[in-house]
Amino acid sequence: MVNIDCPICNLKSIDKKHPYSVHKIKYASFIEKYYPRFDLLTKEPIKFKSEDSYFLTDFNDRRHLKKYLQSLSKQAGLQYLKEYLCRRKELKQNYGFALTEFEIKSLIFPSINYIERYYGMGSYKKLCLDSGLQIKHDYSTIPEFSRDISGRDFICDTREQKIIFLPNMQVSKLEFGDYTLERSKLFIERKSLSDALGTLSKGYQRFNREIERCKDNDSYLLILIEENYKNLQSFEYMPHIHSKCTWSFISHRIRELTQKYPSHIQFLAVDGRKEAARIIEKIFQLEDSIMLTDLQYLYDTGDL
């Protein structure tokens, strides 16, 4: 995290309350005035949304980023992306793993699919390795959803309110997650948009404890959100969603959890409840391979 000094009174390493409590300046205005950053394409000031993103943001939106990359040679573009990842790793010292597609979509950074198509297959893995990041997922091949699970029962947690009915399903109490398969280490936590927002705000500590139980059990938890990603990003403008949280706050917590539990959780947003039902049954055909599979990447490319 960046140490913020106050150039007004020359105080070192101030907290967020200092600008307003001492100088009557809102923190966002203080940062934009005394720590200005500018869009690399348009040279316009970067808008402050959160301290988590401001010092890592080089563009005001993703379109500016893509235009900037297209103005560079491919070698220079890859160098910029590498420098961004290195800068992110330095500022966030507990973020040592390659970003997943779900994480990237919440940042002003090109999607993995874009990087692979524009710079060549294997380029995202090379970028991450060159930046000193650990690789979690394999993007070189499409996994086969071919495991025969027809002889095993699905299990649904007794507390699940809106049950998705699956073949040969039993109802039983689960320590974590809402759905699993008999003799499986994979569990799926189904979330509506409202559920997800509540879990990642007021229910955050309880959710951390649930993930810890999953980790202690040497299991894997997929958090499946029944909402397409664009709606997830824009929930603040939906009249039927009553949440005081911002997307910046929620996406920060998702990235925090994904980096904290790299071998035990993954997030996936799909287009509605019907899609969620289809995805649940298909994902269990992967089982152990899920740890090597970036599901949001596969979903966005149409391979899931």
* Whole-angstrom distance, CA of residue 223 vs CA of residue 208: 13
Would you state the pLDDT for residue 38? 97
Q: List C-alpha distances in Å: 17 to 29, 36, 245.
A: 13, 19, 20
pLDDT band at residue 127, thresholds of 50, 70 and 90? very high
Return d(Cα 9, Cα 245) in angstroms, integer: 32
| Percentage of residues in the chain having pLDDT higher than 90 | 76
- Rounded CA-CA distance 82/90 in Å is 12
pLDDT per position as a tens digit, 239-293: 787 778 888 899 999 999 999 999 999 999 999 999 999 999 899 988 778 889 9
Domains of the chain: 51-130 (no CATH), 154-300 (3.40.50.10130)
Confidence of residue 1 (pLDDT cuts 50, 70, 90): low
Confidence of residue 236 (pLDDT cuts 50, 70, 90): confident
Token output for 237: 């403008």
Q: What percent of the chain has pLDDT over 70?
A: 100
Mean pLDDT confidence for 173-198: 94
The 8-class DSSP code of residue 176 comes to S
- From residue 107, alpha-carbon distances to 6, 56, 76, 238 in Å are 28, 9, 20, 21
Checking if the pLDDT of 111 tops 90, the result is: yes
Q: For residue 109, how many other CB atoms are within 10 A of its CB?
A: 22
